[in-house]
Amino acid sequence: MEMTESRADTVFRLLHKHYGTVKPGLEYSDIYQLTIAVVLSAQTTDKQVNKITPVLFSKYPDFCSLQSADITEIEGIVKSTGFFRTKASNIVRLARCICLDYDGKVPDKIEELIKLPGVGRKSANVILAQGHNIPGLAVDTHVKRLSQRLGLSTGKEPDKIEKDLKNIYSEKLWSEVHLLLIHHGRNKCHARKPECITCPVRDLCNSPDKNF
C-alpha cells in the first residue's frame, strides 16, 4: 500500500482517537532529570529506569553534584538498567560537560546535544521535544518498526526514517507522532505476535506478519 500524506494523517488520527494524548514513559521533573533518564534508558525499558532514578536524583539533584560523584556508587545505583559501567561513566561525564562547557544548562541545538556522552540523535530529539519544547521526532525501535509496517517510510536507518516522518507530518505533530507510535508499538504492534485483531490501524498495515 503506497504511502500518501492523507494516509499518514489517517494513521495519526486513528491512533490519537484510540489512545488520546500519550505521556512520555520516563518520569522526570526537570530537564536535568530528563537528560539523565534518557541516557539511562538505552537498551532497557522506561519502567526499569523509573525504578532507580528516584534514588539517583535524591543523592545527585543536579548536574553539578553529579559531575563529582563517585563512579562506583553510580554504577551500583544504575546497575539494573544494564550496561551500567558505560552508563555510569556517560552520565558523570555528561554532567561535567554540561557544567564546564554549557554553564550548567542543557543545550537546545541537536548539533550540540549529540556531542554529549551517551547522547545520540534519538536521545537528542527526545531532549529537544520534551525538555525544551522544540519540535523533535525520535526514532527508536518501535517508531522504526511501525513506520515500516504502516508504510510511513521505506528507510531502514533511523536517520532516513526520521527525515521521512518529518516530511509527512507538520512540526507541531512531531513529538505527538513519536509518542503515539511508541505507545502503539509497546501495547499492540509488538515485534512478535502483534495484536492485529484489536489494532486501530490494521487496515493500513503493510506487514506480512499481520494476523487477521
How many C-alpha atoms does 101 have within 13 Å on its Cβ side? 13
> What confidence score (pLDDT) does residue 208 get?
77
Helices 71-78 and 46-59, packing angle to 10 deg: 150
122 is catalytic: yes
CB 60 within 8 A of CB 40: no
| Span 90-109, average pLDDT | 98
Is CATH 1.10.357.10 correct for 31-131? no
Candidates 87, 122, 144, 188; catalytic one: 122
Read off the pLDDT band of 1 (50, 70, 90). very low
CB 196 within 8 A of CB 210: yes
Q: Does the pLDDT of residue 2 top 60, yes or no? A: no
Domain boundaries, the chain: 5-23+137-204, 31-131
CA atoms of 211 and 80, how far apart (whole Å): 35
| Position 51, amino acid | K
Please give the model's pTM, rounded to 2 decimal places: 0.93
Read off the pLDDT band of 40 (50, 70, 90). very high
More confident residue, 210 or 171: 171
Candidates 30, 46, 140, 210; catalytic one: 140
User: Domain 5-23+137-204: which topology?
Assistant: Endonuclease Iii, domain 2 (1.10.1670)
**To which residue does cell 505521556 refer?**
23
| Position 129, amino acid | A
9 is catalytic: no
**To which residue does cell 511508541 refer?**
182
